[in-house]
C-alpha cells in the first residue's frame, strides 16, 4: 500500500513546479490586495502592516532556505559581485522609498530624512546579506558532512 504513494522524479518535478507557481501567485495576490487597500480604499498602512511583515519575512527566509538547502551555489558568487548586488538592492530600495514619499504620498522629505532612510535600507540589506552568506556557508558544511 505504501508503494502507491511513491513519486518518481517526473511527478515530483511537476508537483514542485505547480507549488512554485501557486506560491508566486499567492505572493502577488497579497501584494495586489495591499496596494488595493492602500490606494483604492485609502486605508492607512497600519491596517495591513501585518501583511507587509509577512511578505518581508517570507522573502528573507525563502532566499536563506534556498541557499541552505543547496538550491543555489554560493561559491560561484565573487565578493565583488556580492557587493555590487548589495549596492544595487540598496539603490532599488531607496528608489522605491523616494517614489513612495514623493509620488504616492506627496510628502516631501528633507535631506536628513532621505539620508536616514538610506542608512536604514543599507543596514537592513547588509544584515540580510550577511544572514544569507551565513546560511549558504552552513548549508555547504551540512552537504559536505552528508557526503562523508
Is 0.85 topped by the overall pTM?
no
The closest of 133, 120, 119 to 83, measured between CA atoms, is 133
Q: How far apart are CA 6 and CA 24, in angstroms?
A: 27
Per-residue pLDDT of the chain (148 residues; tens, 9 = 90+): 455 667 788 888 888 889 889 988 998 998 898 888 888 888 887 888 888 888 888 877 888 888 788 756 666 667 788 788 888 888 988 888 888 788 777 788 888 888 898 898 899 888 888 888 888 888 888 888 888 7
Residue 137 in contact with residue 130, Cβ under 8 Å? no
- The predicted pLDDT at position 21 comes to 92
- Position 101 scores a pLDDT of 81
How far from the centroid of its chain's Cα atoms is residue 136's Cα?
Answer: 15
Give the H/E segment covering residue 120. Answer: helix 111-147
Residue 3: per-residue pLDDT:
57
pLDDT at 67: 79
Amino acid at each position: 500500500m505504501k508503494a502507491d504513494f511513491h513519486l518518481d522524479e517526473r511527478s515530483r518535478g511537476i508537483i514542485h513546479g505547480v507549488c512554485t507557481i501557486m506560491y508566486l501567485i499567492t505572493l502577488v495576490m497579497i501584494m495586489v490586495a495591499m496596494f488595493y487597500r492602500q490606494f483604492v480604499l485609502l486605508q492607512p498602512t497600519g491596517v495591513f502592516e501585518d501583511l507587509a511583515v509577512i511578505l518581508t519575512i517570507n522573502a528573507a527566509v525563502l532566499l536563506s532556505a534556498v541557499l541552505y538547502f543547496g538550491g543555489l551555489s554560493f561559491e560561484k558568487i565573487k565578493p565583488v559581485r556580492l557587493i555590487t548586488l548589495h549596492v544595487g538592492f540598496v539603490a532599488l530600495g531607496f528608489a522605491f522609498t523616494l517614489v513612495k514619499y514623493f509620488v504616492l504620498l506627496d510628502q516631501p522629505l528633507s535631506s536628513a530624512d532621505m539620508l536616514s532612510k538610506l542608512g536604514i535600507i543599507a543596514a537592513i540589506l547588509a544584515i540580510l546579506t550577511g544572514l544569507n552568506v551565513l546560511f549558504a556557508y552552513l548549508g555547504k558544511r551540512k552537504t559536505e558532512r552528508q557526503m562523508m
